[in-house]
Amino acid sequence: MTAPWWRSAVVYQIYPRSFLDTDGDGVGDLEGIRRRLDHLTWLGVDALWLSPIYPSPMADFGYDVADHRDVDPVFGDLAAFDRLVTEAHDRGLRVLLDWVPNHTSDRHPWFVAARSSRHDPQRDWYIWRDRPTNWTSAFGTGAAWTRDEATDQYYLHHFLPQQPDLNWANPEVVEAMHGVLYFWLDRGVDGFRADVVHLLGRDPAFPDDPPERVGSSRVGTHDEPVTHALLRGIRGMLDGYAGDRVMVGEVNLADSAAIAAYYGRGDELHLAFNFGLLFAPWDAARWREVIAEVLAAYTPADAWPTWVLSNHDQPRHRTRYGSAGRARAAAVALLTLPGTPFLYAGEELGLAHAEIPPERALDPDGRDGCRAPIPWQPGPAHGWASAQPWLPWPPEPDAHSAARLREDPGSILHLYRRLLAARRASPALTGGEFAWLDAPPGVLAYTRTTGQDRRTVLVNHTDDSQPTGLDGAHEVVVSSRGEGDRRTLAPSQALLLRS
């Protein structure tokens, strides 16, 4: 049996507002993504995931969906979407869409109907209570319940009040949200990234949180058994479609074993995000702990890991880790660990987190800095149709523009490209066994092996040179900086070696 495509794939996340604006409104659009497909094929990724593109009041920049079956005019229209999918497929790139099943916008016709009267047929599509529990919402914006004055009940929202939670205990909601998946599958998408999918199930008793938890978000702890049955329903529907569609779920739980449970017995999520490295400091011992914990929890469950260094919710790792050299070394690990890596647009350009002056801050949860626009070219507009994008540019946009970096074979952009090519050429890297190697303190070392194909990876997390202890049988395939010498690691250097 051949492994499904998404096990060896590398997925590239696009935040559409920030990728490339072609119509001059300062916000990226689908046409901008289409025009940069060549960047993605040149780089060598296999799939792209688009953060939400649906009509939305943008209270949470698209994670508040007002219509699941259309495209927000700021991004284009369905015809532009179809063009993008066709041209991506022509290049061998798969397309994943964000699917936001836990909540809708308060402007969604379903919620507009639901709040119109206690007797509306869609009232029960959302979660209403006469008295709220003591739960608080994820963005530190206070209670997770808002009172609807007209009907004098409270509705639940794990995020903003403008994002009421759907009631997945109602079979009509299940059917409607499956219908959304069918709608986009029929338009040719290859899969979905499911937003906070672990939140779907509710404890029907709606218990108050214990006193020690009051005031903290429930998102990272909410883990109800009934969610697994809902995921089996979704998986059955996807597998019954055209076979090789994928769903990667955001399961925002801290515990790897709890996350692995969301793969079910191969009958729930195909993949679940693992944010271990997204939250780990630049420290070899901590990285080793994270990787070991994930592999220990996932391997018995036959749950295929994922790896993420940056996304649209967290400070960029170039800034978190503290130097360009570390970001380069981290890329070597990201693309050689066992599992499916997710790149966040701009990390291949070595972008740092953007400083957002208070008067330009937009996001209710302070995440603007990682959503700064992508600089494609040097010069004031950086390839955008407007020099005034919706957020300020990231630091040093000329030097980090794709065009500049492409001219420099030593740039981080070329490093990502070399790593992606090396990965594609090696069955050991895409599917091989993983084993730790002994290494000096501060150095992460492991091998990946399939039959005769063997790779060794060394990542120096220290700011000193370190001996590798490797002999003449090892040949450097990719070095994160300079040529690379198999006997010595320079400060913050990572090496990928054959054998």
* All residues at 6 or more sequence positions from 173 whose CB lies less than 8 Å from its CB, including other chains: 125, 166, 167
State the Cα–Cα distance between residues 301 and 311, nearest whole angstrom: 26
Please tell me the count of residues contacting ligand NOJ according to CB under 6 A: 9
CB of 98 to ligand NOJ, least distance (A): 8
Q: Does 63 participate in binding ligand NOJ (rule CB under 6 A)?
A: yes
Give the residue with the Cβ less far from ligand NOJ, 271 or 412: 271
Of 21, 195, 223, 368, catalytic: 195
Please state whether beta strands 128-129 and 153-156 pair in parallel, antiparallel, or not at all (unpaired).
Answer: antiparallel
Give the residue with the Cβ less far from ligand NOJ, 219 or 331: 219
Give the residue with the Cβ less far from ligand NOJ, 33 or 160: 160
Task: Tell me, yes or no, if 255 is annotated catalytic.
Answer: no
Give the residue with the Cβ less far from ligand NOJ, 58 or 470: 58
* Residue 84: closest CA among 228, 212, 233, 184: 184
Structure tokens at 419: 């790593």
Q: Does 159 participate in binding ligand NOJ (rule CB under 6 A)?
A: yes
x/- letters, 238..257, toward ligand NOJ (CB under 6 A): ------------x-------
Work out which of 29, 31, 195, 348 binds ligand NOJ, going by CB under 6 A: 195
x/- letters, 426..455, toward ligand NOJ (CB under 6 A): ------------------------------
CB of 414 to ligand NOJ, least distance (A): 30
Give the residue with the Cβ less far from ligand NOJ, 101 or 383: 101
Give the residue with the Cβ less far from ligand NOJ, 128 or 159: 159
Backbone angles phi, psi at 435, to 5 degrees: -145, 145
Report which secondary-structure segment, H or E, holds 8.
helix 5-8
CB of 330 to ligand NOJ, least distance (A): 21
* All residues at 6 or more sequence positions from 60 whose CB lies less than 8 Å from its CB, including other chains: 159, 160, 162, 163, 364
x/- letters, 268..307, toward ligand NOJ (CB under 6 A): ----------------------------------------
Order the strands of the 128-129 sheet from edge to edge. Answer: 128-129, 153-156, 145-148
Work out which of 21, 60, 148, 190 binds ligand NOJ, going by CB under 6 A: 60
The sign of the torsion formed by the CA atoms of 267, 279, 406, 487 equals negative
* All residues at 6 or more sequence positions from 364 whose CB lies less than 8 Å from its CB, including other chains: 59, 60, 139, 141, 160
Structure tokens at 80: 């532009």
Give the residue with the Cβ less far from ligand NOJ, 157 or 382: 157
x/- letters, 115..154, toward ligand NOJ (CB under 6 A): ----------------------------------------
Give the residue with the Cβ less far from ligand NOJ, 195 or 368: 195
Of 165, 250, 268, 348, catalytic: 250
State the Cα–Cα distance between residues 76 and 436, nearest whole angstrom: 48
Q: Which residue has the closest beta carbon to ligand NOJ? A: 63
Give the residue with the Cβ less far from ligand NOJ, 17 or 418: 17
Task: Tell me, yes or no, if 250 is annotated catalytic.
Answer: yes
Q: Does 99 participate in binding ligand NOJ (rule CB under 6 A)?
A: no
Work out which of 14, 173, 196, 445 binds ligand NOJ, going by CB under 6 A: 196
Work out which of 124, 244, 313, 398 binds ligand NOJ, going by CB under 6 A: 313
Specify which residues 488 forms β-bridges with. 467, 485
CA 243 vs CA 4, 124, 176, 246: distances in Å: 10, 33, 21, 9
The C-alpha R_g of the chain, in whole angstroms, comes to 23
The CA-based angle 341-51-12, given to 5 degrees, is: 25
CA 465 vs CA 149, 331, 442: distances in Å: 65, 19, 11
DSSP 356-388: --GGG---TTS-GGGGPPPP-SSSTTTTSS-SS
* All residues at 6 or more sequence positions from 89 whose CB lies less than 8 Å from its CB, including other chains: 95, 188
CB of 36 to ligand NOJ, least distance (A): 22
Cβ atoms of residues 207 and 132 within 8 Å: no
* Residue 34: closest CA among 89, 72, 99: 89
Report which secondary-structure segment, H or E, holds 489.
strand 488-489
Q: Which residues contribute to the site for ligand NOJ (CB under 6 A)?
A: 60, 63, 100, 159, 195-196, 250, 312-313
Q: Which residues are catalytic?
A: 195, 250
